[in-house]
Amino acid sequence: MPKVTIDDVAELAGVSIKTVSRVVNQEPNVREATRAKVEAAIAKLNYQPNKAARNLASHHSHLIGLIYDDPAYYEIPSAGYVIRMQQGVLSACHASNYELLIHPCQYRKKDIGKEIKTLIEQVRPDGIVLAAPLSNMPRIVRAIEATGTPLVRLSPGAANGKQLSVVTNDREISAEMTRYLASLGHTKIAFITGHPSAKAVGNRYLGYRDGLEQSSLKFSERLVAAGDNSIGSGEECALQLLEGKDRPTAIFAANDDMAAGVIRVADRLGIKVPDELSVAGFDDIALARQVYPALTTINQPLSAMAEHAAVALIASIRNKRPLLGTEIVPATLQIRESTGPAPD
Amino acid sequence: MPKVTIDDVAELAGVSIKTVSRVVNQEPNVREATRAKVEAAIAKLNYQPNKAARNLASHHSHLIGLIYDDPAYYEIPSAGYVIRMQQGVLSACHASNYELLIHPCQYRKKDIGKEIKTLIEQVRPDGIVLAAPLSNMPRIVRAIEATGTPLVRLSPGAANGKQLSVVTNDREISAEMTRYLASLGHTKIAFITGHPSAKAVGNRYLGYRDGLEQSSLKFSERLVAAGDNSIGSGEECALQLLEGKDRPTAIFAANDDMAAGVIRVADRLGIKVPDELSVAGFDDIALARQVYPALTTINQPLSAMAEHAAVALIASIRNKRPLLGTEIVPATLQIRESTGPAPD
DNA sequence: GTGAAAGCGCTAACAC
DNA sequence: GTGTTAGCGCTTTCAC
């Protein structure tokens, strides 16, 4: 590997290094003929600009940092989430010649703010994508803010102030799912809430209420059970909902794991899904396709959200314009086999 | 954010910048008192060395690249694998002050070799961890070799020549699982093979044969079915194995997905697991804990392998010694509920 | 349009 | 043990 530098290219092309730099960086003010000469020299020498030198001189690293909560490896949903986020961000990065640095971290650590600050100050990524739930934690957001690095928050429950937040329409799409169930003739539609700490999950409940109202169905506390996002809690809630008299004909769970728990319990109780009970989830994790019957759910557009976030981030780095406001990437219903017409 | 440089620290500590550099890089030849002074100055100014400058001057990027096959986001096992690999490499990186750059790629692309070369030459990671199946592809290995960047191959089917390969003991642990089943009294132990292209999976079959022999059980072709790693193929193989007369009392599948398929079919056929049929898998993916009954399987130590690979890589970068040979990170049995004593 | 000179902030080599 | 001097390979600034 011969180390080809900008000087070699300049010499071969018969121009100054500054001109080569202009061509490489696609700057204006280069005559077409000159540009062609330089490009030929670059191709011939197989010149690759040295990033470290570039970074040092330009104060840009061409690196985007993706910071997220370190998933326990054995948690499927987390793995899927993380991979999808990474893919979204990566596709934006590669389209713009940025590379991606990942930094999973444990927010429970005391000095997490400092850890992130050190990371940023040493590596100097040009921008940060911060994923939920970290994106909802003031001390983490503040730590990043303090470094002055452009920041986009991914899917925070509550969008606020000083950065761009990319969210999805949890509430509206949950209402849509509820209306869909109502349109199948269900009148007793139950809901299983998720872990109270997740704001986004709370919005799903509000959407359920909206959907009932929009379908002129009356709300009943009896039809709501409180889960904690785990399969096990889905099972418990299902038992509670299905064992009373006057049982629901449809159950909408705030996430897929709990919905899978419902299917499991229905199976155990001999209740046929979807003939006697429709079940819907939220997130469209891989498990949704693997349970039997395959789960009707809501596709959380994580990859699209992440890509959107990174695209906006990179654009803002280039314009030097600050990022503000909230952008919504809509989710969509994934109708599969676990929902069907209400029984007579 | 005041930009604190090495000069500021040197001035405050009353030493030369070289001494500061020595302290920062933990080099020898600094008197304890001097070191303390410098460290105090660093702390006081909250000095963070600028990586770009460091990289440029030292020809080290303090970046490790992890290159792997781009997983389809909807494939659970892939997501789990990728996350576990990342975690292993990350923990080694962070322990040694390296950051991780990830580069999933599609090996089917024609110019993948060039893509990787460009990545390496521009970013100049100090080392590369190359994951299976890419680690088994000569053109990819050669592309990286051509750049002269230290390389560790993760879990390649066949270890060879010029780099370090980190593998697991697929064959031996498969023999152990087979012996375990035999020790439960099973004499008709069936095996479901995986996709023939995956070398590692072929070793599992060899291990099964070893285990039979070591348990003095005779091998029968009737007890082997050919799957392709998917749940569906596990179901087909299970049907084939369980519908004949003289059916096996234990089925060992070359991966967890196929084992999950077996459980599904057993359920459908009314065969109780583990009372009438023991089922074992391989990989210990999250699904293994989610099926009912929870799957006895073999924990593929992916995270440990990745960490081991990265540790070796970083050590070799520091010593400037080449990486050679093969290192084995052993897998372990995960006994859960899907296996039990053979029926009478 | 193009080029010359001056750094970016650090480490390497060598002197003291 | 410690300091001095040169770069690393680019981009920036400003002159032409």
pLDDT digits (tens, 9 = 90+) for B244-297: 888 999 999 999 989 999 999 998 899 999 999 999 999 888 778 878 899 999
A258: nearest Cα among A338, A340, A153: A338
Q: Which amino acid is at A305?
A: M
Q: Where are the beta strands (DSSP E) in A19-163?
A: 63-69, 99-105, 127-131, 151-154
* B267 near A CB under 8 A: no
8-state DSSP, A251 = E
> What 3-state DSSP class applies to A321?
coil
What chain B holds in terms of domains, given with CATH numbers, is: 6-58 (1.10.260.40), 63-168+302-330 (3.40.50.2300), 170-300 (3.40.50.2300)
Which among A90, A264, A286 has CB closest to B75? Answer: A286
Whole-number Å distance between alpha carbons of B204 and A89: 37
- Whether A43 and chain B come into contact, CB under 8 Å, resolves to no
Closest CA of chain A from B116, distance in Å:
13
Work out whether the CA dihedral B26, B29, B33, B37 comes out positive or negative: negative
Residues lying close to strand D (Cβ under 7 A), chosen from 27-66 of chain B, are: 29-31, 33-35, 53, 56-57
A158 C-beta neighbours (distance < 10 Å), count:
11
Q: Which pLDDT score is estimated for A281?
A: 96
pLDDT score of A44 more than 70: yes
Cβ contact A79–B82 (<8 Å): yes
Residue A334 has pLDDT above 70, yes or no: yes
Q: State which amino acid sits at residue A97.
A: N
Q: CA of B31 to nearest chain A CA: how many angstroms apart?
A: 26
A94-120 in b/e burial notation, b at 16+ Cβ within 10 A? Answer: eeeebbbbbbbbebeeeebbebbbebb
Nearest protein residue by Cα to C1' of nucleotide D8: B57
Is B48–A103 a contact, with Cβ atoms under 8 angstroms apart? no
Please name every residue paired with A100 in a beta bridge, in sequence order, or none if there are none.
A64
Question: Does residue B18 reach within 7 angstroms of strand C, measured from its CB?
Answer: yes
Q: Mean per-residue pLDDT for A63-84?
A: 78
Mean pLDDT of chain B: 89
- CB contact under 8 Å between A73 and B80, yes or no, is yes
A 167-226 residues with CB < 8 A to B: none
Question: CA of B217, closest CA in chain A: separation in Å?
Answer: 35
For chain B, list the strands marked E by DSSP: 63-69, 99-105, 127-131, 151-154, 164-168, 189-193, 224-226, 250-253, 278-280, 297-299, 326-329, 332-334
Nearest CA in chain A to B267: A267
Q: Who among residues 55-114 of B has its Cβ near strand D, under 7 Å?
A: 56-57
pLDDT in tens, A202-239: 899 999 999 999 999 999 999 999 998 888 899 999 99
Measuring CA to CA, how many Å separate B252 from each of A197, B81, B118, B314? 42, 21, 44, 38
Q: What is the pLDDT of residues A136-191, one digit of tens each?
A: 888 899 999 888 899 999 976 666 667 899 999 999 999 999 999 999 999 999 99
CA of B19 and C1' of C10: distance in angstroms?
12
A75 contacts: CB under 8 Å, gap ≥ 6: B286
What's the rounded Cα separation, in Å, for the pair B4 and A123?
A: 15
Nearest chain A residue to B74, by CA: A286
